[in-house]
Amino acid sequence: MNRATESYDLPLHSHDFIELTFVAEGKGFHYIDQQVEQTGKGRLYFIPVGVSHVFRPSSPGSLREPLVVYNCLFPPELLDSLAAVIPDPPIAAYLEQIRTDQLPAFSVTDLNGSVESLFLSLHREYHLPQTGSGSYLLALFIQLLVSIYRLRHDEVQFPLNKQTQFLQILHYVNREYAQEITLSHLSRSFDWSERHLQRLFKAHTGQTFHHYLQNIRIQKSCQLLVQQQQTPVQLIAEQTGYRDLKTFNLVFKRIIGSTPGSYRQAHCRKQPDVQA
């Protein structure tokens, strides 16, 4: 796993491994065999073994207009070990096509941000390994392969069904939780009645929309309280969609069982003093 800023220096090249590349920032061009296409943020590429390709920014001044990508590189043999843990026949058949070099190069668009989130997690886990990182990376890798399959077969080739539409609403809420999201806003944006949306939230999440949003926000705030130990609680509240600190504290205590300050104190390890 790596994150790279593309330049004009790298020539057309091929690999003896499979490459999954996700465009994280900017725009530019992807040259593959004798073809070239424009590319930009949110585009994912599958590059089989032996296929010549290269990414280049839209202009030679890559520092001014960078094209930044994540690369996930793996040998086809890695897929052999997944056969025993993939119970779904369509996914198993799809991975077998990849393993045996039956799939040509292709690209898809990350419609809901799920692919980008997986690349971020893969990169972080790969470069900051912890206990069980091998298992965790493999689990993320399987999620990535399944997400790519869904993008190619469910959301790209066929019209969106009602279930997929509601999944997009959930992805939207998970991504934009810090904004002023209301049921009325979702109703206008996705063209469903507020009453119907409320029924869907209750049926598919077991919560009302309001409680679902609160839980997402508080979950994110827990992460920030630990990751940004020097950031005041007031700013953490604002970063997760709460403009009123009193409301944030009340909701946080109801869901977590403690105040934000107590949670931070319990979950943040004190740095040992450095001896001279």
pTM over 0.75, yes/no: no
- DSSP per-residue string spanning 35-100: EEEEEETTEEEEE-TT--EEEEESSS-TTTS--EEEEEEE-GGGGGGGGGG---HHHHHHHHHHHT
Query: For residue 5, what is the enclosing H or E element?
Result: strand 2-5
Reply yes or no on whether the pLDDT at 256 is more than 80: yes
Q: Please tell me the predicted confidence (pLDDT) of residue 168.
A: 83
Distance CA 205, CA 202 (A): 6
CATH number at residue 209: 1.10.10.60
Distance CA 220, CA 236 (A): 9
Reply yes or no on whether the pLDDT at 117 is more than 90: no
CATH number at residue 147: 2.60.120.280
Structural domain harbouring 201: 160-270
Q: For residue 211, with 0-12 CB atoms within 10 Å meaning exposed, 13-18 middle and 19 or more buried, which class applies?
A: middle
- Encode pLDDT of 20-76 as tens digits: 999 999 889 999 988 999 999 999 999 999 999 999 998 776 566 789 999 999 999
pLDDT, averaged across the chain: 88
Classify residue 19: in a domain, yes or no: yes
Reply yes or no on whether the pLDDT at 159 is more than 60: no
Same domain, 22 and 65: yes
